[in-house]
Structure 1
């Protein structure tokens, strides 16, 4: 009986593809194994086996699996189930889920090479000039060349057509090589040469005392440590022996150098301590969470800022490990992993690993491989991508700062919500999920109050520290009275001066990076815009560039207005770069650090900025929302919220929720340990009700107000919101496609369909965008919605001019 394998390819394909399992691989592969498969005419890919079966597809010519890569599955059944759920629920191609999940280094790919055919003969003038150029290039190099190399070296973007013509004439052949990206780490070790008679070593090294000393050191080290070799790096580490001395000994065949497999993972021993004893309030919350987990799989821990939620997490993690289970600890920002890792390592040692995009690709691959070994990590700390890790026995998922929108993946596909996906992963593993936040997402708190989740509250700060004093400053009034001469109000400057005089620290929060969001001509009003996107360019003074924050394109700063030719371009507005510069001028004796996307591109940049601030090397930290999320500093007295209105005046139904969360979280960074905190919120409209909720730390009233609004206007948690986005390089086509698709949907779903509409930024990376909104009752079948959307999408694509319009879905926005 012939066996067939359905496999997932790392391509944007909605379905799995079926291949024949060769006889020699029967019984050797199964779900979760990596296999090499041919796809298309000349390509090979690393595919993941989804299932093995005996059902041959009808009327399809099948190919055989080329080879297998693993002796054990690299993806487990829980993960495959999660991938399928993500693909179904978030309406994303399965191949995109696979690409997001598996580390890049574990995906092999083939490359096309062109070479002269073995039986190549001169075709006596039958070749075109370009074909002759290709032949001459291959003869000159005398080895196969990649098509990309031919394109570059011959400066011909249409070279593939000529290569195909040569292939048809049997002048060249096109072959494939499969390349592995993952490189196993090796280390050079030194051992006694296996053919050495050690009694003759002294005679061989006679007259070379330094070489003899090195040899004796190696012998002594091997005997003392009962090992057969020493690493070259360790041998030369303290400078006692130089590379030249070692080379001399090696040439005399007294010692031998060889390679051994190494590891990129941290294996240094870490001193561990017992977890801190919980305060009575923390102990009560801990016991309540355990009681909730007896009845429910998900619990929301609503604890005010600085209440010590992390200590509760640690106790629950310790319980899970004692039961032999693994733990996933999710955070919204990479920056938070720095402080948390130190805290957890002090309790759990090297039983944990950090997994996120700043981790080297080869290290990520090694972490993955260790997780499928017989000795996996017990704890993984990471951002949303760590949801895809291969846990064998997951017992607990902790989702810290669960309200944060950074858990949502918007681009590229798959567009999923990390929090909801983690809850589903825990469900598949029969694990528990703990959500934690001082400002829970409206939907999470609603689910807790309605009984879907458990709810535990932690209402007292650690060591009974008082909540920070929050003061509102009316910047509009100050400017009217000519009292606002800087980005900082007089009150904020006074508070900062007092804090610095007392050797205390300051955090300033401005949720916009760059120096200024706009350059404007004072004469005619011209503003530079991105050539690829419908958005103004942000001025970055330090780099002296104008940048698009949508496509990352850079432009030279204009010195003259292209419209009126006047030299009158001036920056408008402010970002973190301008704020940091101004603060440095106002407080020249203080070290000002800046933390935003521009300053944290390096692998260790987060650690350096946070470490310096934690150690007091910098006194003022200026940053975007990165500084508002769960960071714990003992000596911060003042937090300043600059231009708070920019957080609230955004055309999105969640803008007030996110503004409340960011301002409250940023405020919570002050007064955490032994120092009373002060928060100054600068706003041009201090009479908005939201500021009263923030001042009084009144989450419940804010929640009730938001709930009433959302019920009235049919938003979550009462309705599911799905956004359909259409993109195309021609505006007329995408506009007509959106109109047509919306018309089809309205016939089926009626008033649930809104739009199409042009979004706030209507063109990104040369593609015009239209949006259609669906507001679906919570009881409406997910399967039925999906079928309706896919059916109407297919109908739309049957029209020739809409065939190549890109359509994707954002579910539960």
Structure 2
């Protein structure tokens, strides 16, 4: 095993002291150096998890980044307390990847580590107290008050107590003052108990005593012995039914899951007796949390167009590391992916398939699981800590050679990646906005593949402008799929003018006549409908009809969203919620009305317009549970739901035979947004949601409701004219210096005091202006939302020249400036957030 600069074995062979640079999960700009104790010298290696003391009390899990013989000059190195494993959890390629990510995205490697490791692999330290063995209450010069005496009495009966235990004993919430007093009086000792969060899943099993299983005569004797004990006999017969040891005694070794007997309603007390008498024995084994499923190596039959695309991709990979697959919705990109994954796995490489959201994951996973079985792992944020650790360990051990996951799966411990596929590569969900590292998973995946000398395939019906730009520059290979798979036809688009229907009194509960007619027609034909509105809740806000007062969040500069279910108003930024007011707090009027459309309100309107229809809603509020997405999609896929209302979750990857109508409620809201990408995002969302319609032989219909039907973008979406739309938008971006022609950074300044936040923002802005690189500097301006969670926000935008080393130099100097500012008294509590590629 090698360090980042030398051979570990050579260093270990030396006589001088050994030191390790340890990556810690804290926002500090460098690794900390610790001394390696002699007894741990042979157990240490790059990527091993270790326990170290950080500061006076904290105990943290760190990852060994380097091993060397140079002691730190600025402080005395503390010893590593312990090594947590016999094999590294992290490999050198991962550490290089973390270092690149920290440098590129202007954060610290510890923040990357914190995001990368499942929390089940990070230790928690919990403060505990114990009696000081030298303390004697009778001879102590310090008197004890009643609460201190009560706590010491409780401790006298226990070896240790947690802070939580102390709170229960004393019946108070804050016990820190009492703990501090007892420490000063030398009555107690405080220590940190370290706990490993990950715990494997253990299964209890039952089997015959080994000698019995191998001896048929002994088994016969056992049955004679229990013949007058029907409950015990029933258990033994059930065991033989499940584990036929008469035919094959070797089967007894694995035994039978104890749960099988309890589920069959058999007597557990009789089972205990059989174990006590030595007839059966109970043992435990560690099992996977994921069901083993055999893949059947399905022979995918490609259409001539798909086969041509596959061959072109392979040819492009001979010259390019990255290829963009531009395939219209429903063109069968998944079948192409499966073929390419099969070939990579047969060649002995690992494969990573990135999907933007869990809603997609649940639908595609079943399809992939049929083909790849238990060699495929799934990794996403709805998994428990233990499940994520099992996938991590499965990749380490080689159990999972193929992983399907969301953006966090780029951190898994791959050691021989051959292919990375990024599906729906244009999706904004690939961008991590908070906390650090604020990375773009598509871009990071390309870098990860480069580190492994692997190939990257980017797939989309509406590619991001950056990817399409790179393809036109010949930096990426470019492959198209322009025909839908099978007999599926592209949907027919129709525009519904909201204002015209309103004037003619044809608008009912926000639905135009055309939209209502098409939904009714689909229901009559026993077909399904998708309704898209990218805003959850009942309505964006409530307003007073007399004075126009709008309830706002107490902690953020935003109006509260009205949620009819629960009769409350919520802030979607900080989580603040309150009951709906009965009257206006400004003028006292009781005339309060909901303004605008949310998915909850649309669901209610549909139930009034189509009372016979079965309606479901898919948004963040209905899919919070672990399997919320899956249950909704299963209901819809099995035909138990006629109309599915949803946010952008329904725009991606869903493939249902019976969906013939897609309704887009408020297309204008997507268009008019203060973001240079608004047009690009609108084109992508409208095209993607439209692609859910008519994915089999029947042609689908897409209804776009708008107040501005003359907008050119609608014609471009309807004709699928991506290239002309791209050329038009890129002309604007080049003229006003926007990506991909420049590199953008957003620097956000936050503080609870408005003037301090503004002063810090201006101070940093002026310092940035002095950095000697080619750039455009905008701001600082109050954020679009000026306050979130009681923190005032100011933003500066930097547009950097893409040539030369302007980016690296600016980022490096910016981080030094921020570090200098944060040691100044005035700005110590100010948060400076750097977001690279922010939009």
Native 8 Å contact 1:43 1:111 kept in 2: no
Question: Does structure 1 residue 45 correspond to structure 2 residue 66?
Answer: no
Question: Does structure 1 residue 308 correspond to structure 2 residue 332?
Answer: yes
Native 8 Å contact 1:517 1:538 kept in 2: yes
Distance 1:214 1:544, change over 3 A: same
SS in 2 for 1:564: coil
Question: Does structure 1 residue 186 correspond to structure 2 residue 209?
Answer: no
Cα deviation digits, residues 624-665 of structure 1 (max 9, x gap): 000001211111111100111111111111111111100100
Give the alignment of 1:99-498 within 5 angstroms. 99-122=114-137, 127=142, 132-141=146-155, 142-143=157-158, 144-150=160-166, 154=170, 159-193=175-209, 198=219, 200-202=221-223, 204-219=225-240, 221-223=243-245, 224=247, 226-227=250-251, 228-233=253-258, 235-236=260-261, 239=264, 241-270=266-295, 272=296, 274-373=298-397, 375-498=398-521
Residue 103 of structure 1, CA deviation: 0.9
Residue 246 of structure 1, CA deviation: 2.6
Distance 1:736 1:351, change over 3 A: same
**Comparing 207-216 and 650-659, the one that deviates more:** 207-216
Native 8 Å contact 1:526 1:563 kept in 2: yes
Structure 2 CA distance for aligned equivalents of residues 12 and 89 of structure 1 = 16
SS in 1 for 2:547: coil
Native 8 Å contact 2:431 2:440 kept in 1: yes
Q: TM-score, normalised by structure 2?
A: 0.93
Structure 1 CA distance for aligned equivalents of residues 350 and 788 of structure 2 = 42
Structure 2 CA distance for aligned equivalents of residues 751 and 25 of structure 1 = 50
Residue 766 of structure 1, CA deviation: 1.3
Query: Unpaired runs of 5+ in structure 2?
Result: 1-15, 213-217
Structure 2 CA distance for aligned equivalents of residues 138 and 641 of structure 1 = 67
Counterpart of 1:15 in structure 2 is 30
- Equivalenced residue count is 810
1:661 to 676, 684, 692: 684
2:784 to 760, 763, 788: 760
Distance 1:186 1:689, change over 3 A: same
1:726 to 740, 745, 749: 749
Counterpart of 1:786 in structure 2 is 811
Cα deviation digits, residues 596-620 of structure 1 (max 9, x gap): 1111111111111111111111111
Structure 2 CA distance for aligned equivalents of residues 717 and 470 of structure 1 = 31
Distance 1:625 1:740, change over 3 A: same
**Comparing 172-181 and 558-567, the one that deviates more:** 558-567
Native 8 Å contact 1:235 1:241 kept in 2: no
**Comparing 507-516 and 559-568, the one that deviates more:** 559-568
**Comparing 142-151 and 411-420, the one that deviates more:** 142-151
SS in 1 for 2:613: coil
Residue 217 of structure 1, CA deviation: 4.1
Query: Unpaired runs of 5+ in structure 1?
Result: none
Distance 1:286 1:194, change over 3 A: closer
Structure 2 CA distance for aligned equivalents of residues 138 and 12 of structure 1 = 38
**Comparing 477-486 and 282-291, the one that deviates more:** 477-486
Residue 244 of structure 1, CA deviation: 4.3
Residue 248 of structure 1, CA deviation: 4.2
Structure 1 CA distance for aligned equivalents of residues 78 and 837 of structure 2 = 39
Counterpart of 1:771 in structure 2 is 795
Structure 1 CA distance for aligned equivalents of residues 271 and 681 of structure 2 = 62
Distance 1:241 1:439, change over 3 A: same
Cα deviation digits, residues 39-58 of structure 1 (max 9, x gap): 11122111100011112221
Residue 162 of structure 1, CA deviation: 4.2
Structure 2 CA distance for aligned equivalents of residues 174 and 192 of structure 1 = 49
Native 8 Å contact 2:293 2:373 kept in 1: no
Distance 1:193 1:302, change over 3 A: same
**Comparing 542-551 and 291-300, the one that deviates more:** 542-551
Structure 2 CA distance for aligned equivalents of residues 10 and 503 of structure 1 = 54
Question: Does structure 1 residue 702 correspond to structure 2 residue 725?
Answer: yes
Residue 153 of structure 1, CA deviation: 5.9
Counterpart of 1:629 in structure 2 is 652
Structure 2 CA distance for aligned equivalents of residues 395 and 241 of structure 1 = 51
**Comparing 782-791 and 623-632, the one that deviates more:** 782-791
**Comparing 510-519 and 781-790, the one that deviates more:** 781-790
Distance 1:134 1:713, change over 3 A: farther
Native 8 Å contact 1:265 1:367 kept in 2: no
Distance 1:236 1:216, change over 3 A: closer
Residue 595 of structure 1, CA deviation: 0.6
Counterpart of 2:11 in structure 1 is none
Native 8 Å contact 1:326 1:378 kept in 2: yes
Residue 108 of structure 1, CA deviation: 1.2
Counterpart of 1:607 in structure 2 is 630
Residue 559 of structure 1, CA deviation: 1.7
SS in 2 for 1:758: strand
SS in 1 for 2:771: helix
Counterpart of 2:215 in structure 1 is none
SS in 2 for 1:551: coil
Question: Does structure 1 residue 597 correspond to structure 2 residue 620?
Answer: yes
Structure 1 CA distance for aligned equivalents of residues 193 and 796 of structure 2 = 44
SS in 2 for 1:748: coil
Native 8 Å contact 1:399 1:436 kept in 2: yes
